[in-house]
Each structure stands twice: as C-alpha cells, then as structure tokens.
Amino acid sequence: MTRFTGEYLCKLDAKGRLVLPAKLKAAIPEINGNELMMIQGFEPCLVLYTSLEYNKTYSKVAGLDELKKEDRNIQRNFFRRNIDVELDNTGRFIIPKNMMQAVKIDKEVKVVGVGNRMELWNPEVLEEYILDSEELSDQVQMAVTKP
C-alpha cells in the first residue's frame, strides 16, 4: 500500500522541473519504476499517482456508460488532462507549462502527500483549501460516521 504524507515547499528550476522530495520518492513502490501519472485535479492543483493507484481511478472513470452524455463528458474532461511523467535519476520531472498555468504554479510548489497520491499546489492557493483544527475535526467526524 502506497502512503504519501507530509507537506514540502519546493522550487522549480528554469525549465519547469521539480525535484520530488526524497521522502515521497522513497514511498513510490519499486514495482512502479520511475513512472507516475499526472492529472489536473478537481481543485486547482496537479495530482501525481503511481501506476497502481492511477489504474484504480482509471477503471472507475473508464467504466462509466459511454452511451450517457453525462458519463462521456466526465470521461472526456478527466482523460484529456492526464499525462505520463518519468522521474530522472535525481527524482526530477517536467511539469508542462499548460498544466502549470492551469493551476497557477510558477516558481514555488507545495507538494502534499495525500495518502494514495501527491498534490502539487501554488502555495498561496493551497492556503484557501486548508481547514482549521475545528473544521478538520468536524469533517473527519462526519466522514467516519457515514452509514
């Protein structure tokens, strides 16, 4: 089971490359190799998945009914924003400019481990999505007590 946790402030180099923090890179299963899948998230961030985790999400979206207009629209919008990413020997990868622009990433990136995936955020935008302790407590309580 993949476990990505923590929050890391990183800088992009002039070519738009990001060095994945060592702790997150170490959490990538060996079977995955140096390949990750990057998608544009539902919030204004980019999401990195290992192949195994991406395949789970892929199966859910690909399994929607293509005869239904709403399902086709979900598939079209989900899959058009996916790219393969390969880490080099130092753990670097390029973030395409169009994806950086879409989520307002410039020179600094907050990389957040979110369990089965990693999220890449503009540090200022991320602050809008962080819950304070009381909000977090309430949301966790609601999530774990769902029937």
How does pLDDT run across 110-119, given as a tens digit for each residue?
999 999 999 9
**The domain that contains 127 carries what CATH number?**
3.40.1550.20
Q: Is residue 59 part of a domain?
A: no
Give the pLDDT score at 120: 98
Would strands 35-40 and 46-49 be described as parallel, antiparallel, or unpaired?
antiparallel
Degrees to nearest 5, angle at CA 121 with 32 and 58: 40
Q: Is residue 12 part of a domain?
A: yes
3-state helix, strand, coil in the chain (%, to 5): 35, 25, 35
Would strands 17-19 and 92-94 be described as parallel, antiparallel, or unpaired?
antiparallel
Q: Is residue 68 part of a domain?
A: no
The tokens describing 106, both together, are 């410039």
Q: Is residue 90 part of a domain?
A: yes
Mean pLDDT, the chain, rounded, equals 90
Q: Is residue 91 part of a domain?
A: yes
Domain that holds residue 23: 7-50+84-144
User: Please, are residues 53 and 119 in contact by the beta-carbon 8 Å criterion?
Assistant: no
Q: Is residue 121 part of a domain?
A: yes
Query: For the chain, how many structural domains are there in total?
Result: 1
Degrees to nearest 5, angle at CA 100 with 131 and 41: 45
Q: Is residue 73 part of a domain?
A: no
pTM for the whole structure: 0.87
